[in-house]
Amino acid sequence: MARPEDSAWAVSVAQVASRPGQTKLIDAVFPAPSGIGDNIIGVREGADVSVTGSFDSIVDGLILTAHINAPVQAECTRCLKPIERDWGVDVTAFFPYDSPEDSRNSKEEVDIIAGEDESEDTYPLSRDGAFADLEALLRDTLVEALPLQPLCREDCRGLCPQCGIDLNEHLDHHHETTDLRFAALADLKAQLEQEERERNA
């Protein structure tokens, strides 16, 4: 079985977990967990994610207050240009002390608690309470923070709906010719008028 400290996202918290009122500063870089976003927008697995903040111990657990910074890769929703920029998000999460006996005795109860915990940004410590694993926290937090409509810049002009040219690079771009659909209608109209003239002649 994998040891908790072998996780790439393990943070040793044994020093602060011993009694309330302790603070452990954290300033570290972790690999981005898998599953953050998709091809359109996301954080590439293994990319550097920095976490700065602190673990503070209270009576029944540890509170993590941190700023997470990750490189987000995206595609501008207007002009489809690739975007790569750092994305920062603040997070507060709770790591309750969990007595190992309880976990073993009542698996079902733990599941229920875990279900409740998700909505409160609560994450388990390792069995012995010595490590906090940040993988799930990083994934959840970053997935939630991804912008829904990423733009390369606020005033991106997007692509020409007719020919797809990037309007940011061609500010004067427009089409002289009438839209083909209108051209076809104009032809039809001319033809009908011609027929009418011939009938009336």
Binding residues (CB under 5 A) for Zn ion: these are 76, 78-79, 152, 156, 160, 162-163, 165
The rounded distance, in Å, linking the Cα atoms of 193 and 201 is: 12
The rounded distance, in Å, linking the Cα atoms of 17 and 59 is: 9
- Residue 5: count of CB within 10 angstroms of its CB: 13
Nearest distance from C-beta of residue 70 to Zn ion, angstroms: 21
∠ Cα 129 32 96 (to 5°): 20
Nearest distance from C-beta of residue 183 to Zn ion, angstroms: 16
Nearest distance from C-beta of residue 174 to Zn ion, angstroms: 7
Whichever of 29 and 165 has its CB closer to Zn ion, that residue is 165
Nearest distance from C-beta of residue 171 to Zn ion, angstroms: 12
Whichever of 8 and 165 has its CB closer to Zn ion, that residue is 165
Whichever of 79 and 132 has its CB closer to Zn ion, that residue is 79
Length of the chain in terms of residues written: 201
Do the Cβ atoms of 60 and 96 come closer than 8 Å?
Answer: yes
Q: CA 12, 16, 19, 20: dihedral to nearest 10 degrees?
A: -130
Whichever of 76 and 134 has its CB closer to Zn ion, that residue is 76
